[in-house]
Amino acid sequence: MASKDPDDFALGKPERLFNLTCTLLYASEGLTKKQILQTVRGYDDEYKHGGDNSTLERKFERDKESLREIGIRIETEIPKHEDENNQVSTYRIKREGFSWPKNVKLTPKQLALLNLAAEAWAGGSLSTDASRGITKLRALGVVGQSSDIIGISPKIHTFEPSFKDIDFAIAESQVIQFDYRIPKTGEIQTRTLQPWLMRQIAGAWLVLGFDEMREAPRNFMLRRIVSKVRTVTEGRELRLFSAPEQSVIDAAVLELDEHARSQEAVLKITPGSEAWFRYELDLNPSRKDDSLRLNYHDLFVLAEQLREYADQIEVIEPKELAVLVQEGFRKVADLHG
């Protein structure tokens, strides 16, 4: 009990990671794995001199991964005159990669906005990363303050269970596979995707990526994924991809927008009805025409929106949409009969 503080505590993972970080920052020349395992608290007690330390080595590998997730990169260097012998590889953390740029300051208002951005994820898929990011930014010593955003409580919806896995796969460039329900036929297909980005349009999340089956960029709506998102392995390794240039991704994003602009529905709406109000036809009091032209990116999502207004909306074009709306109602009536 002769420690610096009478309170006992066990040396857990956070402490081990912290010790490792400090040591590798301090040792600017780098340390070999052996030196690390022998000297860093959290490993040293378990180190067997002249024995098998493979368990400990695996622990070190996992810790490296944990550090990377928090934003700390361990650099590995192999001395020039050596082959790839990891007994002599040295590990270190470069200071410039570790620290928040010195010349970048945040104002109280900016921190308040970032707080709000983090809160928007509360309970959502990215809340852990967002709140850890805020914790780090608070280390700048600034207190978030802005009267402009008092009384605003934004929440990003991510109700799709696949969101988190896809987000992770994008960040790690992992190829994924999932079962997808084709809305038109109800058929379920297994698709393999190199995911690039996620996008929310009118409340629905899409993932855009390179579809290996179609050999082209494709969008998938997360709510139509009817399985867990799986990673793909190659031998014993996870299959990774290299993401294309931003310009390729931007072009694929634009393509969907253009597709939406080229698709038009013509609707007839009962004047004065709720739908009339919803589509803001009331905002122009001189309006006599009861038809509305609407662009859409997904026929099935539009059909859902229109069904809310039951008989207040008549679909003139396209015929396919009219059929879809009606079939949906028929199915609902049958299922509740």
Q: Is 76 in the site for other proteins (CB under 8 A)?
A: no
**Cα end-to-end distance, the chain, whole Å:** 74
Please state, as a whole number, how many other Cβ atoms lie within 10 Å of the Cβ of residue 81.
Answer: 6
User: C-alpha dihedral over 104, 73, 170, 127, to 10 degrees?
Assistant: -60
Cα–Cα–Cα angle for 309, 329, 201, rounded to 5 degrees: 60
Total site size for other proteins, rule CB under 8 A:
126
Q: Is 1 in the site for other proteins (CB under 8 A)?
A: no
User: C-alpha dihedral over 121, 123, 129, 135, to 10 degrees?
Assistant: 90
Q: Is 134 in the site for other proteins (CB under 8 A)?
A: yes
Nearer to other proteins, 81 or 102 (CB): 102
Note whether 192 and 177 are within 8 A (CB): yes
* Among residues 32, 59, 88, 117, the one that binds other proteins under rule CB under 8 A: 117
In the block, tokens 């007839």 appear at 268
Site for other proteins in 170-189 (CB under 8 A): 170-171, 181
Nearer to other proteins, 151 or 235 (CB): 151
Nearer to other proteins, 44 or 82 (CB): 44
Nearer to other proteins, 3 or 85 (CB): 3
Q: Is 254 in the site for other proteins (CB under 8 A)?
A: no
Site for other proteins in 255-294 (CB under 8 A): 273-274, 277-278, 280, 282-283
Q: Which two tokens stand for residue 117?
A: 């951005």
Site for other proteins in 207-226 (CB under 8 A): 223-226
Query: Residue 3: what are its φ and ψ, rounded to 5°?
Result: -75, 175
Query: Residue 219: what are its φ and ψ, rounded to 5°?
Result: -105, 140
Binding mask 302-321 for other proteins (x = CB under 8 A): -xxx-xxxxx----------
